[in-house]
Chain A
């Protein structure tokens, strides 16, 4: 993922990841969709999702940064905020 990413691009990438990891129909993935209630992503899935996002973004992600994420829109915003920061030194 490049250094500058629009929220639209992040959203599309996330859609792809959700399909790749969880076979979630991209049509179901809207900004309002609730990760647990609508997309059935449980806490174990969240760990796998964060691992995959780490690989893609090349950034360190603390689970804390995703603690308040409830919807796809929240996740897009969290990733967007992550990419605004400088890459981690390590």
Chain B
């Protein structure tokens, strides 16, 4: 390539990056304002739309899901990301316990978008967030404020036939560190005697990860792959006589191993596809 060609490419690359920084800021502003606006208008109205608490929570959750799909569509249309969902139909049935690894800020946006009715655990800080407190309130999401109460609330959601989404890491993955799961997901699965539906999330090149500001956009447009795997059975871990805390440790170890293998495979495959000339 000639020198002027390289310079042109550099300029194009810088322009593209500049655009993506601006568009990312724009998208997140839309997200915040949209959440605030809907939180004061559509969602309270939906909340009043039925006397039956189950019906109205389901309606709000469907609306939240639709708005998440709009947000993903916006980011995709602005050229900020591409994505691929594998086994999306597996996420549709009700009463599922879905767990996923958590590499990026917007994992929950994708997953809630794909699952029209799902209960999520929302960190306590968001119940005080000016943009998100009303949406999470109206949607009946579960706060992570108390340990025991949290597990009980999640088990109750599953026994009532609702779907539940949990990120067992409890926070976004720290790149370069070994995958670390808290034991809450295992405790819920054991207490509810439910199989787990794992979703492996990978993003190449990595962006919006822990400790990375939103405006530090990656060198090229990032691609997400979200794949819903085969269910992980829990029955084998419910051994008679084994103390519950020990069973939770064993399930957690098994889950970490499952995700380690699955994430590595998915990343290898994505990097092969994106290799120049490959």
Interfacial residues, chain A to chain B (CB-CB below 8 A): 20-23, 42-45, 47-49, 52
Contacts and interface: CB of A to CB of B under 8 A. Distances in A.
Contact of A47 (B148, B183, B184, B249): B148
18 contacts: A21-B245, A22-B246, A22-B249, A23-B249, A42-B147, A42-B182, A42-B184, A43-B146, A43-B147, A44-B147, A44-B151, A44-B183, A44-B184, A44-B187, A44-B248, A45-B245, A48-B243, A52-B243
Contacts of A45: 183, 245
A43 B184 CA distance: 10
Contacts of B184: 42, 44
B267 interface: no
A47 B249 CA distance: 15
Contacts of A23: 246, 249
Contacts of A42: 147, 182-184
B75 interface: no
Given A43-B147, A43-B148, A48 B182 contact: no
Nearest to A63: B148
A39 to B, nearest CB: 12
A30 B42 CA distance: 56
Contacts of B244: 48
**B interface, by DSSP: helix, strand, loop or mixed?**
helix
Interface of B: 146-148, 151, 182-184, 187, 243-246, 248-249
A48 B148 contact: no
A21 to B, nearest CB: 5
A45 B186 CA distance: 12
A52 B148 CA distance: 17
B187 to A, nearest CB: 5
A51 B265 CA distance: 42
B147 A22 contact: no
Contacts of A49: 245
A27 B156 CA distance: 38
A87 B183 CA distance: 34
Given A44-B184, A44-B187, A21 B248 contact: no
Return the 5 tightest CB-CB contacts between A and B, nearest first.
Answer: A43-B147, A48-B245, A21-B243, A45-B245, A21-B245
B239 to A, nearest CB: 14
